[in-house]
Amino acid sequence: MGNDGHSSAPRRVPRPLSPLREHLRDTFWFAPTVGLAGAVVLASGVLELDRLLIRTLQDDGDYAEVDALIKIANDAKTIISTVGSAMLTFVGVVFSISLVAVQMAAGQMTPRVVRLYVRSRITKCTFAVFLATFLFTLLVQASYEGNTDPRTVSTVPFVSAVLCVLMVLVSLGLFVAYVNSTIRLMRVAHVIDRIIRESFRMLDRHIRTVVPGTPGLPPAEAEIVHRGRAGVLRDVHIARLVRVARRHGTVLRLIPRVGDYVVPGTPVLAVHGGTVPPPRALRYTVSVGVERTFHQDLGFGLRQLSDIAQRALSPAVNDPTTAVQCLDRIVQFLAAIADRPLGMLHHHDRKGAIRLVQDLPGWTDLVDLGFTEIRGCATEQPQVTRRLIAGLDDLLHLAPEERRPPLERHRALLTQAVERAVPAAAERDFAVLPDRQGIG
């Protein structure tokens, strides 16, 4: 079944942990927790190294060296105490900056870009290192002894103090990088650029296994219904579904698209051929959440760009230049897939047999998603209509003949909307004149 007509299709063995990795990236607790655990492990190891160093020097009778280390450690104690209190203040500052940035982004662009801040590696790394440095300094302070006799002292936190200073330097560097990254994410151009880059990463991961049309599947033996909570279908565990289908000699087909809202009782998987897998084997293969993600959702990037453009075109904001920037990236994305196959996503097992079939948005779906709502808001904004006309003309030039009808439809509808909204003939002619910059 897997080789019937598709032997030349590229095959990719899915990574088993890819959904877990993506889900952890969508959380904010994991990186700081790892940082705190790492601080405890690091402090335990370094403090033991300090004990070993002092024990070795005492065994060698080098008490003068031990006394020198005690003096250095005592001098550094003030620095360590200051670092401990300062790190907690830094954590508060970072949290405040993040909160303000998230509020501004959600208000000025769209609430769906908040996930960019949640997934920001530099933000998580900064929080993790700051908390780790704070906990590390506390553990180092607790290791200080009142005993200053080089003959009987059991530990001197010399290496720990040096490492604490190094962690402070790393924290300061991360703070500068964090502020720079946050300021960039508060600028709409950089947010739009991040969205389109994530869209292309998702496209490159999945488009290689797309095969036009539907494979010759036997009739569905059964349908597996969703028994979890209601929510947005975020992704599916591809590797686990492929293993289950191979074990039962069947082909599974995902019925809803990733990004659809599913409720309990909704059919999510169709079983074609073979034996029907038991419900237990399919546990944790479908992930449902409160919002869409980029992980397996081909249209989510266009959804975000369309939302940003619509908010920019609202009377309260009235920022057509931002809408033009969104159109630039929408046209870029559609141009990249204009001649690529769009249809069913096929996942193979190690022997090359199709085991999981997943539906993707078609060309018409993506064109409508990218242009429909912007076109409805842009009829009185000549900068946007001119850019939209130019973008449609570029796509008409790039797209094959069979993919031109939705583009021609949007161009005709835009021209008709401008004719209805703009009474003066000269202004109408100006508004539908193609211009890749809108109006300069």
- The whole-angstrom separation of Cα 127 and Cα 31 is 8
Radius of gyration over every alpha carbon of the chain, rounded to an integer in angstroms: 29
Please report the pLDDT score of residue 173 as a whole number: 92
Band of residue 18 on the pLDDT scale cut at 50, 70, 90: low
What integer is the mean pLDDT of 314-328? 91
What integer is the mean pLDDT of 327-355? 89
- The whole-angstrom separation of Cα 143 and Cα 286 is 48
Judged against a pLDDT cut of 80, whether residue 370 lies above it is answered with yes
Band of residue 2 on the pLDDT scale cut at 50, 70, 90: very low
For residue 39, what are its two tokens?
């601080």
- The whole-angstrom separation of Cα 74 and Cα 60 is 23
Please report the pLDDT score of residue 128 as a whole number: 92
Q: Which of 13-22, 47-56, 172-181, 305-314 has the lowest mean pLDDT?
A: 13-22
Between 108 and 412, the more confident residue is 412
For residue 398, what are its two tokens?
């790039």
Judged against a pLDDT cut of 60, whether residue 193 lies above it is answered with yes
- The whole-angstrom separation of Cα 244 and Cα 315 is 52
Between 131 and 70, the more confident residue is 131
Highest mean pLDDT among 61-65, 106-110, 309-313: 309-313
Of 110, 160, 97, the residue nearest 133 (C-alpha):
160
Count of other CB atoms within 10 angstroms of residue 18: 16
- Give the tens place of pLDDT for each residue, 76-99: 888 888 888 888 888 888 888 888
Judged against a pLDDT cut of 80, whether residue 66 lies above it is answered with yes
Band of residue 317 on the pLDDT scale cut at 50, 70, 90: confident
Please report the pLDDT score of residue 17 as a whole number: 45
Query: Angle, to 10 degrees, between the axis of helix 18-25 and the axis of helix 238-247?
Result: 150
What integer is the mean pLDDT of 112-124? 84
Cβ contacts of 226 within 8 Å, gap of 6 or more: 262, 263, 264, 265, 266, 267, 268, 286, 288
Rounded to the nearest integer, the mean pLDDT of the chain is 86
What integer is the mean pLDDT of 109-138? 87
What integer is the mean pLDDT of 101-127? 82
**CB 384, CB 430: distance < 8 Å:** no
Judged against a pLDDT cut of 80, whether residue 189 lies above it is answered with yes
Provide the terminal-to-terminal Cα distance of the chain, rounded to the nearest Å: 55
Please report the pLDDT score of residue 350 as a whole number: 87
Count of other CB atoms within 10 angstroms of residue 41: 10
**CB 127, CB 98: distance < 8 Å:** no
- Give the tens place of pLDDT for each residue, 4-16: 333 344 444 444 4
- The whole-angstrom separation of Cα 237 and Cα 420 is 49
Q: What is the DSSP letter of 404?
A: -
For residue 84, what are its two tokens?
């401990």
- The whole-angstrom separation of Cα 345 and Cα 343 is 7
- Sheet of 231-236: strand order equals 261-262, 231-236, 286-289
State what percent of residues in the chain have pLDDT above 70: 93
- Give the tens place of pLDDT for each residue, 220-240: 888 999 988 899 998 888 889
Please report the pLDDT score of residue 75 as a whole number: 81
Please report the pLDDT score of residue 274 as a whole number: 85
**CB 98, CB 175: distance < 8 Å:** no
What integer is the mean pLDDT of 182-197? 88
Give the 3-state secondary structure of residue 285: coil
What integer is the mean pLDDT of 407-429? 92
Residue 330's region, left for phi above 0, alpha for psi from -120 to 50, else beta, is: alpha
User: 354-359 and 251-254: which strand pairing?
Assistant: parallel
The pTM of this model reads: 0.81
Judged against a pLDDT cut of 60, whether residue 321 lies above it is answered with yes
